[in-house]
Amino acid sequence: MAMDSPVATGAALFDLLAGVEARFRALTTRLPEDAPAAGRWSGILFRVGASRLLAPLDQVVEVLSVPADLTPVPGTKPWMLGVANNRGTLLPLLDLATLTQGGVPARRETDRVLVVRQDDLPCGLVANEVLGIRHFAEAQRCAGPSAGLGVLQPFAQGAFSLAGAVVPVIALDLLLADSLVSQETSTGPGVGTRWRSEAI
């Protein structure tokens, strides 16, 4: 009995795998996309220092562990930790604790990266802990604290009550669009007029 050549066998295997992939893609395109329930709001609950905060779920692309290898960016603020390689994409990392509280960045085992896209460019915001997804009725949104959030105050968009505490919602896209942050993550050192007075 004649043996199939390795080339022919490899080609047949490739065709088989290609067919399986094509059928899988055809199947997935028929799956309905989950639409947010009317009147519902979903967000990521995270912690910066002792403060619990919420971010809109649709603003967070993924949550990562803090990369071990970071390339520092000379001349930037202390809260600009550096740039990491995330699956072939450069990912600037900002430390939220240092940004909001000052001091020197300190790594913790619970630290996680919230990956947010700003103008189609990813940026990683390092939180001290990510506590998971939370769902609320939009009608539960209340006024957030008028003070106490420091440099995050301008980016607060109301709050939700969770376990008896008022947890502010922070618009991460607006934070990254701020003049100082956007310049630090895209072109290096930058100075935003409002941030000069914060003495970070």
- CATH superfamily membership of 40-196: CheA-289, Domain 4 (2.40.50.180)
**pLDDT of residue 66 exceeding 50:** yes
- Average pLDDT on 31-39 reads 56
Cα–Cα distance for residue pair 15/88, rounded to 1 Å = 28
Q: Where are the domains of the chain?
A: 1-31, 40-196
Q: To the nearest 5 percent, what fractions of the chain are helix, strand and coil?
A: 30, 35, 35
Lowest mean pLDDT among 4-18, 106-120, 128-142, 159-173: 4-18
Tokens describing residue 19: 């067919």
pLDDT in tens, 131-157: 999 999 999 999 988 788 888 999 999
User: pLDDT at residue 32 above 80?
Assistant: no
